[in-house]
């Protein structure tokens, strides 16, 4: 059974019980009160009547005229008067009934007890009040019984009973219907939410729920929507990451397999083929070149991996020696192309990891050198603000430059602007991806500016 | 002997393929990017094109559009099923994945050429002429009687000329993968061929490696 149906049934049953129970209780209490009122009235009526009769009977006895016949005619006189009020009497002398104008149908079968003065008796579905008392001041024991049927009470109450039943039933039915519709209506939003969650789980990450209002369900809906948006975002992030990873792996596969093919291929060629001495030399040349390429790739990959995993240590470094160390590594290339190097160092110290920063400089300088023509110029600026902890490294060359599309992609792993030229140098294509990692570890950013045919400028800012 | 275009941007591999294919008698042209490939194809008649999938300026797959009627073999580092299927459904004859062995390349090229009937019909060396389509061999203008197995071995040697083949490899190629016999049968057959075709100086024994038909 559904939740709302459960609540509905429980609520309905409770309301009906309390409602009907309450009304019934009120009825009962009112009825009791009515009866009490009747009793009191009966009692006072009786007292007046009894006093009158008592006086008369006492007078008669004083005169010595009290006998059964006289009593009967006395009562007959009263009877005329009281029959208008639907009252009946009985007079008992001891155990014997001397007078009675009580209709047979109204008669209670036992002799009156002098214990309970006022009694209510139900005879043949009608209620009667019986009041009994001894007439005092007489020689014999005379008991006067007063009987009154509670006709109005009976009528009114049977009508009321009927009305009660009808009203109760119709209210109950009405209540059941209205409550049913109401509960169903209120739980509609829950159903909406449930459906939305289902569709979302099936893969429709754009699914959202619209529930107006400010109650708990509307709040739940709002929270659901927030959660959905977060998840959608995360999923697209993850998907993007996965795609990037796949591309990285594809490129890596290519970069690994190609030199391997060459090395193995030339070795096999030399072993099995009928070739000349010159062929042999060419083959060996290729094998060595490709081996070197693999070596570079391996080192670059290791660097990348280490940066991601290791705890990096930072220290204060002398700017000048750091730069000179890097320049020594690219010395050959610089000389080969007769490149002018201009240094502008306006800060004596720079804080960072020695190996990483050196790697960074070597990579950037190497790229600048490769981009330059013969006789080109590279400008290196390292500056910092003594008040703040940041340092800027700016390397500018007047080489071949890059266009916008190329600029966007240079930091992608394995991307090269000019593949042929890069391979000549044995480059793996990971240099700038590496630089990016290094700069990030130093909590900085790296930006490229370039104009085709005019040159390129790299600006690195680090905050350590 | 066929005319083959090699389209591969990695210079060392391009060179390697050219040398291997030249060894067995094919004539090869080399280009290093898509644009040049298109030009060469327009201006020449090639029997086969060896195509690298990851090329600058134009991917190997896109280049396929220009290569109607010419058989193509894709060469690439990508091993995934998707790429293979893509290549094959685009009409490539075969798909070879790096790293590959020389013999494998030569064999696949040979298979495709035979399929397109672009292999040469005859082979001459010394006093012997071999007619491939007729399976007919002449020595000094006289028909030579060769057993089917001897002929198979002969074909294998010719297809892999200038390349040293081990006894196991010869067994595999000429007798088939299922053959469980001894490699000595290779030696015996080689001797027979040398004698029958006068190729004592052409079928060389390569120390520790096997035999090589040298042209």
Q: Do A289 and B12 touch (CB under 8 A)?
A: yes
Nearest CA in chain B to A286: B12
DSSP string, A401-412: ---HHHHHHTTS
Please give the pLDDT value at position A433. 87
A254 touches chain B (CB under 8 A): yes
Contact A253 B13 (CB under 8 A): no
* Band (B105; pLDDT cuts 50, 70, 90): very high
Between B154 and A49, the more confident residue is: B154
Gyration radius (Cα) of chain A, Å: 58
List the structure tokens of A38.
Answer: 């009747």
Query: Which of B15, B77, B102 is opposite residue A253, by nearest beta carbon?
Result: B77
pLDDT-derived band at B109, boundaries 50, 70, 90: very high
Helix or strand or coil: residue B118?
coil
Residues of A in contact with B214 (CB under 8 A): 274
* Lookup: tokens for B128: 């012997």
In this predicted structure, what is the pLDDT of residue A1?
67
The answer to whether the CB atoms of B12 and A262 lie below 8 A apart is yes
pTM greater than the 0.80 cutoff: no
Cβ-based burial of A354 (10 A; exposed 0-12, middle 13-18, buried ≥19): middle
Look at B81 and A357; give whichever has higher pLDDT. A357
A286 in B contact zone (CB under 8 Å): yes
Contacts 24+ apart (CB under 8 A), A132-136: A133/A46, A133/A50, A135/A50, A135/A53, A135/A54, A135/A57, A136/A54
Which residues in chain B are contacts of A294 at CB distance < 8 A? none
pLDDT given for residue A429 in this prediction: 80
At residue B165, the pLDDT reads: 93
Cα(B116)–Cα(B93) distance, rounded to whole angstroms?
A: 10
- Among residues B64, B118, A242, the alpha carbon closest in space to that of B109 is found at B118
Average pLDDT over residues B5-13: 89
Residue with tokens 């059974």: A1
DSSP string, A140-169: S-EEEEEEEE-HHHHHHHHHHHHHHHHHHH
- Asked if A265 lies within 8 A of B16 by C-beta distance, the reply is yes
Chosen for mutation from B77, B213, B214 (greatest number of chain A CBs closer than 10 Å) is B77
Band (pLDDT 50/70/90 cuts) for residue B135 is confident
Q: Sort out which chain A residues have CB atoms less than 8 A from B10's CB and list them.
A: 258, 262, 423
Answer yes or no: do A260 and B98 touch at CB < 8 A: yes
- Interchain CB contacts (distance < 8 Å): A and B: 80
Question: How confident is the model at residue A458, as a pLDDT?
Answer: 93
Q: Is A257 on the interface with B (CB under 8 A)?
A: yes
Contacts of A264 in chain B (CB under 8 A): 99, 101
- State what percent of residues in chain B have pLDDT above 70: 98
Q: Is B134 exposed, middle or buried (0-12, 13-18, 19+ CB in 10 A)?
A: exposed
Q: So what's the pLDDT on residue B10?
A: 85
Q: Residue B208: is its pLDDT beyond 70?
A: yes
Confirm if B138 and B128 have CB atoms less than 8 A apart: yes
Alpha-helix residue ranges (DSSP H) falling in A310-430: 319-336, 354-371, 404-409, 419-424
Q: Decide if A405 touches B, using CB distance below 8 A.
A: no
Instruction: List residues bridging with A127 in a β-sheet.
Output: A122
Interface mutation target, options A259, A261, A270, chain B, most CBs of B under 10 Å: A261
Check residue A105 and give its pLDDT. 61
DSSP state of A136: P
- How many angstroms separate the CA atoms of A362 and B102, rounded? 39
What is the separation, in whole angstroms, between the first and last Cα of chain A? Answer: 64
**Residue of B17, B79, B99 to mutate for A, most A C-beta atoms under 10 A:** B99
Q: Which residues of B touch A269 (CB under 8 A)?
A: 16, 19-20, 102
Strands B27-31 and B3-7 turn out to be parallel
Q: Do B13 and A261 touch (CB under 8 A)?
A: yes
Q: Do B10 and A262 meet the contact criterion of CB atoms below 8 Å apart?
A: yes
The predicted-structure confidence for A174-186, as pLDDT tens digits, reads as follows 988 998 888 888 8
With beta carbons under 8 A apart, name residues in chain A contacting B16.
261-262, 265-266, 269, 286
> Which 62-101 residues of chain B touch chain A by CB within 8 A?
77-79, 98-101
- 3-state class (DSSP) for residue B199: coil
pLDDT, residue A283, reads 92
Alpha carbon distances (Å) from A150 to A31, A87, A105, A127, A345 = 12, 10, 14, 6, 121
Contacts of residue B15, defined as CB under 8 A and 6 or more positions apart, other chains included, come to A282, A286, B30
Cβ distance of B100 and A261 shorter than 8 Å: yes
pLDDT reported for residue A82: 77
Going residue by residue through chain A (464 aa), what tens digit of pLDDT does each one get? 678 888 888 988 998 899 889 988 988 898 889 888 888 888 888 888 888 888 888 888 888 887 888 888 888 888 887 777 777 888 877 777 777 777 766 666 555 555 567 888 777 777 888 888 888 888 788 888 888 888 888 888 888 888 888 988 898 899 889 988 888 888 888 888 989 999 999 988 888 988 888 888 889 999 999 999 999 999 999 999 998 888 888 788 878 888 888 899 999 999 998 889 999 999 999 999 889 888 888 888 888 887 776 677 888 899 999 999 888 888 888 888 899 999 999 888 888 888 888 889 988 998 898 888 888 899 999 998 777 778 999 999 998 888 888 888 888 888 887 766 666 666 778 888 889 888 988 889 999 999 998 899 999 999 87
**In this complex, which of B12, B13, B162 lies closest to A273 when CB atoms are compared?**
B162
| SS3 (DSSP) at B80 | coil
């Amino acid at each position: 059974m559904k939740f709302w149906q459960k609540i509905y049934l429980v609520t309905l049953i409770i309301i009906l019980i309390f409602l009907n129970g309450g009304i019934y209780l009120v009825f009962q209490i009112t009825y009791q009160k009515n009866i009490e009122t009747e009793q009191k009235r009966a009692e006072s009526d009786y007292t007046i009547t009894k006093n009158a009769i008592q006086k008369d009977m006492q007078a008669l006895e004083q005169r010595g005229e009290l006998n059964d016949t006289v009593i009967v005619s006395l009562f007959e006189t009263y009877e005329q008067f009281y029959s208008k009020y639907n009252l009946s009497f009985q007079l008992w002398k001891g155990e014997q009934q001397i007078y009675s104008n009580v209709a047979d149908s109204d008669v209670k079968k036992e002799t009156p007890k002098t214990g309970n003065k006022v009694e209510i008796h139900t005879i043949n579905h009608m209620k009667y009040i019986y009041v009994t008392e001894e007439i005092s001041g007489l020689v014999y024991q005379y008991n006067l019984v007063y009987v009154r049927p509670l006709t109005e009470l009976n009528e009114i109450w049977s009508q009321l009973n009927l009305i009660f039943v009808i009203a109760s039933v119709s209210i109950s039915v009405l209540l059941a219907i209205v409550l049913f519709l109401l509960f169903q209506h209120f739980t509609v939003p829950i159903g909406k939410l449930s459906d939305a969650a289902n569709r979302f789980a099936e893969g429709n990450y754009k699914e959202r729920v619209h529930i107006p209002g400010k109650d708990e369900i509307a709040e739940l809906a709002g929270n659901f929507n927030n959660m959905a948006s977060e998840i959608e975002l995360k999923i697209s992030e993850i998907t993007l990451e996965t795609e990037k990873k796949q591309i990285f792996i594809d490129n890596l596969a290519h970069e690994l397999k190609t030199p391997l093919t060459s090395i193995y291929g030339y070795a096999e060629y030399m072993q099995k083929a009928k070739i000349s001495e010159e062929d042999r030399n060419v083959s060996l040349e290729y094998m060595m070149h490709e081996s070197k390429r693999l070596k570079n790739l391996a080192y670059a990959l290791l660097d990348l991996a280490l940066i991601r995993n290791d705890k990096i240590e930072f220290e204060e470094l002398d700017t000048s020696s750091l730069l000179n160390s890097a320049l020594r590594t690219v010395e050959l290339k610089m000389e080969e192309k007769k490149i002018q190097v201009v240094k502008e160092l306006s800060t004596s110290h720079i804080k960072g990891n020695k190996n990483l920063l050196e790697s960074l400089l070597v990579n950037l300088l190497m790229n600048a050198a490769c981009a330059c023509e013969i006789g080109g110029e590279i400008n290196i600026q390292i500056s910092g603000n003594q008040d703040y902890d940041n340092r800027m490294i700016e390397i500018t060359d007047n080489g071949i430059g890059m266009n916008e599309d190329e600029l966007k992609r240079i930091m992608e792993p394995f991307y090269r602007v000019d593949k042929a030229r890069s391979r000549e140098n044995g480059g793996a294509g990971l240099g700038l991806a590496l630089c990016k990692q290094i700069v990030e570890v130093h909590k900085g950013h790296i930006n490229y500016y370039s104009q085709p045919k005019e040159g390129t400028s790299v600006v690195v800012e680090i905050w350590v | 002997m066929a005319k083959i275009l090699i389209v591969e941007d990695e210079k060392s591999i391009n060179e390697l393929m050219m040398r291997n294919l030249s060894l067995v008698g094919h004539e090869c042209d080399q280009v290093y990017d898509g644009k040049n490939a298109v030009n060469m194809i327009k201006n020449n008649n090639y029997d086969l094109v060896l195509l690298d999938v990851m090329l600058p300026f134009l991917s190997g797959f896109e280049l396929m559009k220009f290569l109607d009627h010419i058989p193509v073999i894709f060469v690439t580092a990508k091993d995934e099923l998707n790429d293979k299927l893509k290549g094959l459904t685009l009409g490539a004859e075969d798909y070879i994945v790096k790293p590959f062995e020389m013999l494998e390349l030569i064999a696949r090229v040979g298979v495709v050429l035979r399929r397109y009937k672009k292999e040469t019909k005859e082979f001459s060396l010394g006093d012997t002429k071999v007619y491939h389509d007729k399976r007919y061999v002449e020595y000094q203008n006289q028909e030579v009687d060769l057993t089917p197995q001897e002929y198979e071995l002969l074909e294998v040697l010719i297809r892999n000329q200038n390349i040293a083949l081990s006894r196991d490899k010869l067994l595999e190629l000429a007798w088939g993968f299922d053959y469980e016999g001894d490699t000595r049968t290779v030696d015996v057959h080689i001797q027979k061929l040398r004698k029958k075709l006068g190729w004592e100086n052409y079928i060389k024994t390569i120390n520790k490696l096997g035999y090589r038909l040298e042209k």
